[in-house]
Structure 1
Amino acid sequence: MYILEEPRGRAYEGLISMAFRVCDEFILVKKDQLTLTPAMEALSEQLKPYVKTVKKQDAWPGTQLFGHYADVYYFDCQPPLEKLILESADGLYDWVWPNLLEDLCFFKGSQPWLVNIAHEHEAWIKTDDREEILQFRGIEGLMVY
């Protein structure tokens, strides 16, 4: 596991572009107790045509809820969504209510690859693939521990 200091700007762009190349799926979350703000509604409308499925869940990578649920939106990694994700935020921890849907996480073959707990300012990459490690270590400005 490789812990990330928040990628912002070019580091965020590089990480998201790599995630779209390496992974096949990603999620965004809307907790039941939180209302959609106008900014979240606008993003939701742009995402709507690409939603693969929505599941009511009390857990997703890095998060366990107690006593309530969230709508977890699943998407396939595809170019129009990469552009939208890059245009919607300037940093990984921007994916938090009230401005955006929460906890942008990526999966490679159903396994968590990039885990993001935005409101906690925690994120990590889970891989032992040497080529991937070399790639993300080569992203300008990305701080990995």
Structure 2
Amino acid sequence: MKKAIRLRSEPYGDGYKALIDYAIANGDTFVVGVHRYEGIDEEVSLYTKNYADLLTKLLPFRVAEYTFEELRQTSGVAYTPGVYYAYRCCEEAGALLKEAADSLYAWRGPDLPEDLTFRDREGNDFLLNIAHEEIGRLSVEEAEAERLSNEIEGLFLELSRHVDFDKFLDDAIRHQALSLHIENFGITEIPPRIGKLKRLKQLTLFEQNVRRLPRELFDIETLEELTIYCADLEEIPPEIGRLKRLRSLSIIGGSYYGVPVGGVIPKAAMSLNRLPDEIGELEALEHLTVNHTGIRELPGTMAGLRRLVTCNVENNLLDKRPGLLYKLPRIRYVFTGSNPYSERKKR
């Protein structure tokens, strides 16, 4: 029985090309959207020459044109007003799709038409792609999904075997995932082999019982977004300073799957009570969030975060105004509520 199986990470490179070949061979048509945006004159081109040239090259294969209202009844790809063009699946058209992009979520303006999606002979979404939100789903039987995942390097699908965390992580490494969401596996530690994810850009960890982050995590030089939800993280290792491309860092303590027996650990009892000086070495950091920890002051090295735009240090134990944040050259938003010094101000 077919079911919509989620793509855990974006197919790219040879994996993207192999997926296009598979979709062309097994689909009936593919659809792209030319979106219309409220308040923008439609006579003004929002798109690049590459965008327009591709639509011209695809013209011989066009079989239908849909309005937003027509297509939204049958396809998840129609979520924004505009015109949607359908093309027949054939090798020639597939070659153009592989030439135009190197990854599935590259299908968005202004460089390309939106959300390349394939449909079957019944008009159902076969390969759904909502690129801006990085949502991809492939409608196949589980056995077929297993086969494709084994054969196409880079096609990281959500499979039944992934209830086993080791198999999940092994597949993520084999496919060299660009993004990874680790949640509710019930694990107590992150294996050091996570450092083998050499192309990982985005990592979200929500595991309440994980208390330590392996040093190998900070060998992933490509990492741009790191989000950690744990009940009681012991520390942020000093090796975090190695992440020279990191743009967003969030550390949220007191995080649980459900309300724990005995309640949430109070901030004064949290193990994480300081930020390492090396956090000031994150030269690309734009957004920082640290909530529900025992941190009482921020390291002076944070003065080096010259690209920081947003800093949320609410709900900690800061006992004085973090004045250095307001001196950063690009800072726009600072949130410091629910700290002892801010509570004193209210009184």
If the length of structure 2 is used for normalisation, what is the TM-score? 0.39
Cα distance, 1:129 vs structure 2: 6.6
Which of 1 and 2 has greater Rg? 2
CA distance in 1, matches of 2:128, 2:141: 15
CA deviation string 1:5-55 (max 9, x = no partner) = 100001101111110111111101101237333221111111112111111
Is the 1:52–1:74 Cα contact (8 Å) retained in structure 2?
yes
Structure ranking higher on relative contact order (CA contacts 8 Å, 6+ apart):
1
Structure-2 residue corresponding to 1:52: 63
Alignment of structure 1 residues 1-145 onto 2, 5 Å: 1-4=4-7, 5-33=9-37, 35-58=46-69, 59=72, 60-65=75-80, 69-109=81-121, 110-128=123-141, 130=143, 132-137=144-149, 138-145=151-158
Number of residue pairs matched by the alignment? 141
Q: Structure 1 41/25 Cα, relative in aligned 2: closer, same or farther at 3 Å?
A: same
Cα distance, 1:61 vs structure 2: 1.7
Report which stretch shifted further, 34-43 or 110-119.
Answer: 34-43
Aligned-residue Cα RMSD (Å) equals 1.7
SS at match of 1:12: helix
SS at match of 2:111: coil
Q: Structure 1 135/107 Cα, relative in aligned 2: closer, same or farther at 3 Å?
A: farther
Is the 1:18–1:136 Cα contact (8 Å) retained in structure 2?
no
Query: Which amino acid in the other structure matches residue 101 of structure 2?
Result: A
Structure 1: segments with no counterpart, 5+ residues: none
CA distance in 2, matches of 1:24, 1:39: 25
Cα distance, 1:134 vs structure 2: 4.1
CA distance in 1, matches of 2:129, 2:77: 7
Is the 1:61–1:105 Cα contact (8 Å) retained in structure 2?
no
Is the 2:29–2:88 Cα contact (8 Å) retained in structure 1?
yes
- Decide which structure has greater strand share: 1
CA distance in 2, matches of 1:3, 1:37: 30
SS at match of 2:117: strand
Query: Which amino acid in the other structure matches residue 39 of structure 1?
Result: N
Is the 2:32–2:114 Cα contact (8 Å) retained in structure 1?
yes
Is the 2:145–2:157 Cα contact (8 Å) retained in structure 1?
no
Is the 2:11–2:156 Cα contact (8 Å) retained in structure 1?
yes
CA distance in 2, matches of 1:26, 1:129: 23
Report which stretch shifted further, 53-62 or 5-14.
Answer: 53-62
CA distance in 1, matches of 2:61, 2:36: 21
If the length of structure 1 is used for normalisation, what is the TM-score? 0.89
